[in-house]
Structure 1
């Protein structure tokens, strides 16, 4: 086993670089659960009624952690769009 000794300044500089790297990875990955506005933006609809219809018909997954908060699964929305994709000739 090896022991590495660092000066305090070097340790904190290294620590900051590690944090920057991790934050960069987290920012690149989109959130799994999104709000209704972002869901409507992805599906390119303007009506909350249409979004509710998709939810009620089970075409997209959602979660309702509180009475007035509804979150949508980004992956299920992308899958819904892929289901209607047409292949080229």
Structure 2
């Protein structure tokens, strides 16, 4: 068994690097197209009617690869949320 000794500063720097790499790796794995359930959760809406309204008004992008399958663009949902964000006083 080998023992590696690190100073506190070096240990915490190593932990920060590991966390940064894990976040970077997970961020790249996010799908561009998400399901209606994921979109509803992301937008914090409870009904598919509200999701359809946003889609019909052109506020969020979507793709319909098959008749009953509708996928939503994660980036357009983020842009919609950012566009409707209000600054605090």
Q: TM-score, normalised by structure 1?
A: 0.68
Aligned to 1:85: 85
Q: Look up the match of 1:53.
A: 53
Q: Distance in 2 between matches of 1:28 and 1:76?
A: 17
| 2:29 is the counterpart of 1:34 | no
Q: CA–CA distance in 1 between the matches of 2:46 and 2:88?
A: 28
* Contiguous gaps of at least 5 residues in structure 2: 1-23
Identify the residue that residue 12 of structure 1 maps to in structure 2.
none
Task: Map Cα deviations across residues 13-48 of structure 1 (whole Å, 9 max, x no partner).
Answer: xxxxxxxxxxx83x4421100000000000000100
**Number of equivalenced pairs:** 66
**Cα root mean square deviation, aligned:** 1.7
Deviation of residue 88 (structure 1)?
A: 2.1
Larger Rg: 1
TM-score computed with the length of structure 2 as normaliser: 0.68
